[in-house]
Amino acid sequence: MASTQSRFRAAHPAAHGMIVRGMSFAVVLMLAAAALPQVVVAQGPAQAQPTNLSGSWVSPATNDVLERLEGPFTDDWTGMPLNAAGRALAQSYSAAMLGEPERVCQLYGQFHYANGAVGTRLTIWPLEGGPTDQILAWKINKTEDVGGMTIWMDGRPAPSEYADHPREAFTTGHWKGNTLIAYTTDMKRAPARDNGAFYSDEANMTSMFIPHSGDLLVVVTVLRDPVYFTKPYIYSRAYYRSAAATAINTTWPPCIVNNEGVDEGAVPFFLPGKDPLRDQMMQVFHVPEYASDGGEDTMYPEIRHRLKDQYLKLYPTFSKRCMQYCTTWRNGQPVANQALPEESAVAKPGH
């Protein structure tokens, strides 16, 4: 039975059934991540809410275009602070793993709201209660394979460290001025990027929901993981309030396991150095493996100095026209991940 899930649609015809999520070259927010302090949420009663976050928020197609639809390049972890374990895990990853029955419904955790979003949309609504119907929590919609998020504002304590990690994890929040700051723990292992880079179940996350005038919401997320990262991984995404979708969907059907054609007992993966797509960043963007393999040094602008001489030497051979994963316009609207059409060679009359 053919899958209707979007992450199976971009199959690579040359990979013998392996499914390729796609590729990217965006360096994720070159910020000094280590300088950011970890947010500690003070316990206390439910707080006054300075901003109404309720509604449907849509991220424009031009925002982080290379993470959308087909996803990032299979060998692009530039800007990710991967350690040796995180890099080895990413390089062994095959998108054909998503065809295994136990992985068809693979969880995408709370970080997915920052780097992938649920169909480029966030739906946020308040959970009210207590004697004065104050806002006890803010909820963000889940889907069949995204766990959802409840940001508790009532100062409740975190669950025991021995408790099971739920799909929704555990999040507390507080307001700092006009910004909602949320701190998430008890996360499950899930993709940090849809090309094999994962964070572990020991990760935690700080999210800042920053409203701006004109119905603009910026979400900045700091992901920390002592297992696969050496530094915090920072990502941001902008959303605009959508007037077209006012209904709030609070339920979602369960993920249904399909037959994706992977034989029983087969575990698709790549041995070290055996992924046939490991040189795509070099072939397409002329970015060598020491940069595309990630690591904390690739998070900062100084990586450009290391790349500069080699890049300038090869520059005359580069195509000067975007041929892959370009943002184009169709019917007056931005369209993500579309290659530019070939220019017509039809001669004009009289020439």
Domain count, the chain: 1
CA angle 195/201/206 to nearest 5° reads 85
State how far the Cα of 56 lies from the Cα of 241, in Å rounded to an integer.
Answer: 6
Output the pLDDT for position 308: 87
Q: Which two tokens stand for residue 84?
A: 């040796």
Phi, psi of 323 (to 5 degrees): -120, -10
> Are the C-beta atoms of residues 189 and 199 closer than 8 Å to each other?
yes
Residue 296 lies in a domain: no
Pairing, β 149-152 against β 170-176: parallel
Residues in the chain with pLDDT values less than 50: 1-44, 340, 342-351
Residue 263 lies in a domain: no
Residue 79 burial (C-beta neighbours within 10 Å; 0-12, 13-18, 19+): buried
Output the pLDDT for position 96: 87
Residue 288 lies in a domain: no
Residue 336 lies in a domain: no
Phi, psi of 219 (to 5 degrees): -110, 120
**What is the overall mean pLDDT for the chain?**
77
Residue 41 lies in a domain: yes
Output the pLDDT for position 82: 97
State how far the Cα of 242 lies from the Cα of 121, in Å rounded to an integer.
Answer: 9
Output the pLDDT for position 110: 92
Residue 340 lies in a domain: no
Residue 12 lies in a domain: yes
Output the pLDDT for position 332: 60
Q: Which two tokens stand for residue 101?
A: 């029955």
Q: Which two tokens stand for residue 329?
A: 């316009």
Beta bridge partners of 320: none
Alpha carbon of 264 to those of 2, 49, 98, 100, 215: distances in Å?
17, 52, 13, 8, 49
Q: Which two tokens stand for residue 232?
A: 């915090």
Beta bridge partners of 205: 184, 223
Q: Residue 110: which domain range?
A: 6-242
Output the pLDDT for position 337: 53
